[in-house]
Structure 1
Amino acid sequence: MRLQLVPDDEIDDWDPWRPSAPRLRPSASSRLNALRRSFYEDALSAIGPGRPIRVATYVFAARGVDVDAAHAMLAEHARDRGWTVHRDRFTDEPTGGPLPARPQFNRACRHAGSGFADGVLASGRGAMPTTDEAYESYLRWLRDRYAFLAFQQPAIGGTPWTDR
């Protein structure tokens, strides 16, 4: 977990006569990652035993990204975890504005929140809304509907191309 220094003006009980260790708090990204993991575990515990976990894949495709390959990698990751991939997949492409719009991510979340899937599987935080506030509101909205947001974990031990 990443920590950041708490500025002196935010410390209420600071005593200038008593030296103390600097105060630290989780960074915004660490806090949101912990929140996502907690909501993920809550959603998985709400799924009945023996019922397969269904996910929809979401890709935020920058220019030059092979969308089909990105979805295939997410589907392979889901199958490796024993999850079922829903037939609907969602893809956004950058629009060139200051804040990239992600209408398909919104649709993927509504899809999971409506019960068609248990969660949304994406490549990582870079595919999510750019502001921490918007990202947190999506996490909380999904949690309220017993759905989750999961990220593809990096491959440990290399890839078939580097193992040769």
Structure 2
Amino acid sequence: MRLQPVPADELEESWLWWKPAEPRFRMTPDARLNALRRSVFGDAVAAVRPGRPIKVTTYVFAAPGVDVDATHTLLGQHARDRGWVVHREHFTDEPTGGPLPIRPQFNTACRRAGSGFVDGVLTTDRGAMPATDEAYEAYLRWLHRHNVFVAFLQRTIGGTAWIDQ
């Protein structure tokens, strides 16, 4: 878990009893959102009826140079390796060239999941998600209310799972 120091001016306003000489830390925004995503994932998987396979759809944000078909195939293989069933539909967005990328297909994938067609959306990494932390958190909270998740492809190096620490 990554931590960042809490600025002294925040301590003085909200924690009058706290000694300024003692450092206080909190999670970084990335660590907090990653913990929220993992919590949403755990709750959604726990809500799946025992014995029923987890169904996912794949989503790719196709930045320039990304082979979309190969990425969907890789995501599908990763899902099957975990024992998940891949839904026949997959979703792809391409950058529009504006200041913030628009992701209408991601919205559709989330609506399909929220409607019960799939249990989650499998994508490559955080880069495929909405750019701002606020928008990403809003999606995670919406998914949590609908008992569905977003999962990232686990990178492998030399055949072993590698997880960002």
TM over 0.5: yes
Q: In the aligned structure 1, how far is the partner of 2:125 from the partner of 2:143?
A: 17
Gaps of 5+ in 2: 161-165
User: 1:5 maps to what in 2?
Assistant: 5
Conserved 8 A contact 1:6-1:25: yes
When the two structures are aligned, how many residues end up with a matched partner? 158
Alpha-carbon spacing, 1:7–1:72, altered in 2? closer, same or farther (3 Å): same
Q: In the aligned structure 2, how far is the partner of 1:83 from the partner of 1:90?
A: 17
CA apart distance, 1:19 = 5.8
Task: Compute the TM-score of the two structures, normalised by the length of structure 1.
Answer: 0.92
Equivalent position SS for 1:140: helix
Say if 2:28 is the partner of 1:43.
no
Q: In the aligned structure 2, how far is the partner of 1:126 from the partner of 1:19?
A: 37
Q: In the aligned structure 1, how far is the partner of 2:146 from the partner of 2:66?
A: 31
User: CA-to-partner distance for each residue in 1:32-57, whole Å, 9 max, x for gaps?
Assistant: 00001001000000100110100000
Q: In the aligned structure 2, how far is the partner of 1:13 from the partner of 1:146?
A: 36
Query: Where do 4+ consecutive residues of structure 1 move more than 6 Å?
Result: none
User: 2:116 maps to what in 1?
Assistant: 115
User: CA-to-partner distance for each residue in 1:105-124, whole Å, 9 max, x for gaps?
Assistant: 00000010000000000101
Conserved 8 A contact 1:5-1:22: yes
CA apart distance, 1:93 = 0.5
Q: In the aligned structure 2, how far is the partner of 1:31 from the partner of 1:75?
A: 28
Gaps of 5+ in 1: 160-164
CA apart distance, 1:158 = 5.0
Equivalent position SS for 1:155: strand
CA apart distance, 1:14 = 5.1
User: 1:66 maps to what in 2?
Assistant: 67
Q: In the aligned structure 1, how far is the partner of 2:98 from the partner of 2:109?
A: 22
User: 1:144 maps to what in 2?
Assistant: 145
Conserved 8 A contact 2:60-2:93: yes
Q: In the aligned structure 2, how far is the partner of 1:14 from the partner of 1:94?
A: 47
User: 1:162 maps to what in 2?
Assistant: none
Task: Compute the TM-score of the two structures, normalised by the length of structure 2.
Answer: 0.91
Alpha-carbon spacing, 1:156–1:96, altered in 2? closer, same or farther (3 Å): same
Q: CA RMSD in A?
A: 1.6
One-letter amino acid of the counterpart of residue 135, structure 2: A
Q: In the aligned structure 2, how far is the partner of 1:100 from the partner of 1:146?
A: 26
User: 2:103 maps to what in 1?
Assistant: 102
